[in-house]
Structure 1
Amino acid sequence: MRQHLTNYHSHCNFCDGRAPMEDFVVSAIGSGFSSYGISSHSPLPDYIELYSVLRGDRVDDYIAQANELKEKYRDKIELYTGMEIDYIDDTHCPANEYFQSLDLDYRIGSVHFIKIGEREAMDVDTNFAHFSRMLQCYYGDDIRPLVCDYFDAKMRMVARGGFDFVAHPDKISLNALRRDPHITVQRWYQDKVQQYFRFIAEQGRMVEINTKAYLTEGLFFPNRQHFKLIGELGIPVVVNSDAHHPHLINAGREECFGELAAAGVGAVMELASGKWIEVAIY
């Protein structure tokens, strides 16, 4: 059995997390984690109306509080300060000068929005009712071009760089499956996803296996059907719970390890003394 418990994708009440940062740290220590990272959602462009992200005027407070907790608990756990940074376009992305200038230990590259025109964006990670309304509004209720736009945006983000790992690589599959329960087995979808992961491998990026929806939906992001391809392509993986509640920091992790091992993925990436290292699953 693995010796270390880790998680580098979690949120606190600086964004849409449901508890103070310290509550997550205390939970991680109590659960025996060797290292843990907080990764609040980055500020967004002003035309995207979403209030559950880290505000620009609170970024310094966020980093300062994380540094205080590192010092307070330095004898009990390795703590890291991260940020989940949205790729909107090549200007607002993890690689831009502002996000690169921040005193962060790591950065997560994420796509939650598809830019529509100059000052509009569709949220693909919203509740299904809102997703459906926006799909009708922007795509004439046609899911295929939206899915393709999503993976194309992800690939542009991967090419641009500036992050440590790709967050929930196929998160759109949650709403896409609600729209069409058979979408992920259709040939065009599989071809697009293969193109996407092959590009990630060519660019030498690391991907997250996100366990957030495992308890409620039985899903991982990426979908378990892609684990074998990820292993064959040699893409490094890091397993995270994307926790928004302290008691869920380890949710779905052991189940994920089992499925990764069955698919031929034998190791995961962890932070140790500030460096990403490969550690065997079992």
Structure 2
Amino acid sequence: MPNLTNYHSHCLYCDGRANMEDFIRFAISAGFTSYGISSHAPLPFSTAWTMEWDRMDDYLAEFSRLKEKYADKIELIIGLEIDYLNEESHPALPSFQNLPLDYRIGSVHMLYSPEGKVVDIDTPADTFRQLVDQHFGGNLDYVIWSYYNNLFHMLDLGGFDIVGHADKMHYNASCYRPGLLDELWYDRLLHRYFTTIAEHGYIVEINTKSYHDLGTFYPNERYFSLLKELGVRVQVNSDAHYPERINNSRVEALTALKKAGFSSVVEWHGGKWEDVAIELS
């Protein structure tokens, strides 16, 4: 099968469930042509799902060893998924820019509550509801605007190549308030957001992590045609935390992209990003 690539995956250096080599060996056995490791980057505080700075040298060294070991079987690249938290913690910081990485994914997983507490909103929908009620007084609009304002700040600051799960909050937010995606103000906000992404020239991943269980991509499929109209380059990533999930829902994503008018996706070959034709067998 063509278009067998993935650049969003998490191994044991963060919250992945297998070591780096297991992911690579699975990718090779599945016929992947290129593959990227993108552990969650360190934050200013410890979490259960991010890497610590004292593991960075080991992370880079282990990748270098595996890249050499499997050089004749697959093209491997190394990155990080780096959170925008605030103006003092984001992908453009020199501490991240000075690392010898091939690429960087920019994402938002957490928000500050009105009381200044860091709240992880990347949770199951029922937990999200509890967090909105507990930390934000049930003000879903405040949460949505905070989320997208952080994304806009991240886009302006730069320092990354790929926008990670571009509108991931849409599922939880629409579970909290059914019909949200059809509200005019929300649709206008998303149009402005994707237009800004296009103006900056970022790659948008079609994140397939939740498609099998929740029936949605990130970004939502309703915006695929807009991305095409804006000239945004896209790629399909599975955000895998288990080796056996690196190819989850790839065909469904590629099919949806073709339906929206896309003829190519962005892949890494020969040491650079390039546009490769979508081929559905």
Identity of aligned residues (%): 47
What is the Cα deviation at residue 114 of structure 1?
A: 1.4
SS in 1 for 2:90: coil
The answer to whether the 8 Å contact 2:166/2:205 transfers is: yes
Residues 97-129 of structure 1 deviation map (CA, whole Å, 9 limit, x = unaligned): 100111111100010011346963221102334
Verify: 1:225 aligned to 2:219, yes or no: no
| Residue among 139, 143, 148 paired with 2:145 | 148
TM (normalized to structure 1)? 0.95
Equivalent residue number for residue 255 of structure 1: 252
Measured in 2, the distance between the counterparts of 1:174 and 1:45 equals 28
What is the Cα deviation at residue 90 of structure 1?
A: 2.2
Measured in 2, the distance between the counterparts of 1:71 and 1:90 equals 37
Residues 40-79 of structure 1 deviation map (CA, whole Å, 9 limit, x = unaligned): 0011122xx5212111111111111111100110000001
Equivalent residue number for residue 139 of structure 1: 136
Equivalent residue number for residue 42 of structure 1: 41
Verify: 1:212 aligned to 2:209, yes or no: yes
Equivalent residue number for residue 173 of structure 2: 176
* Unaligned stretches of 5+ residues in structure 1: none
What is the Cα deviation at residue 159 of structure 1?
A: 0.7
Verify: 1:107 aligned to 2:104, yes or no: yes
1:55-66 matches, within 5 Å, as: 55-66=52-63
Structure 1 residue identity aligned to 2:127? H
What is the Cα deviation at residue 136 of structure 1?
A: 1.8
What is the Cα deviation at residue 91 of structure 1?
A: 1.8
Residues 223-282 of structure 1 deviation map (CA, whole Å, 9 limit, x = unaligned): 000000000000011110000111110101111011111011111101112211001113
What is the Cα deviation at residue 198 of structure 1?
A: 0.7
What is the Cα deviation at residue 139 of structure 1?
A: 2.1
Residues 138-179 of structure 1 deviation map (CA, whole Å, 9 limit, x = unaligned): 321021121121111111101110001100000111211221
| Residue among 185, 193, 196 paired with 1:196 | 193
What is the Cα deviation at residue 89 of structure 1?
A: 1.4
Measured in 2, the distance between the counterparts of 1:15 and 1:73 equals 22
Q: RMSD over aligned Cα, in angstroms?
A: 1.4
Measured in 2, the distance between the counterparts of 1:127 and 1:43 equals 23
Aligned residues: 279
| Residue among 84, 89, 100 paired with 2:86 | 89
| Residue among 105, 125, 135 paired with 1:128 | 125
The answer to whether the 8 Å contact 2:114/2:136 transfers is: no
1:67-86 matches, within 5 Å, as: 67-86=64-83
TM (normalized to structure 2)? 0.95
Residues 3-41 of structure 1 deviation map (CA, whole Å, 9 limit, x = unaligned): 331000000111111111111000000000000011000
SS in 1 for 2:11: coil
Measured in 2, the distance between the counterparts of 1:274 and 1:211 equals 25
SS in 1 for 2:266: strand
The answer to whether the 8 Å contact 2:238/2:245 transfers is: yes
Measured in 1, the distance between the counterparts of 2:259 and 2:179 equals 24
SS in 1 for 2:35: strand
Structure 2 residue identity aligned to 1:18? R
Q: Which segment is superposed worse, 232-241 or 111-120?
A: 111-120
What is the Cα deviation at residue 211 of structure 1?
A: 0.3
* Unaligned stretches of 5+ residues in structure 2: none
SS in 1 for 2:133: helix
Structure 2 residue identity aligned to 1:158? L
Residues 170-196 of structure 1 deviation map (CA, whole Å, 9 limit, x = unaligned): 011121122123211211111111110
Q: Which segment is superposed worse, 81-90 or 113-122?
A: 113-122
Verify: 1:33 aligned to 2:32, yes or no: yes
Structure 1 residue identity aligned to 2:28? I
Structure 2 residue identity aligned to 1:271? W
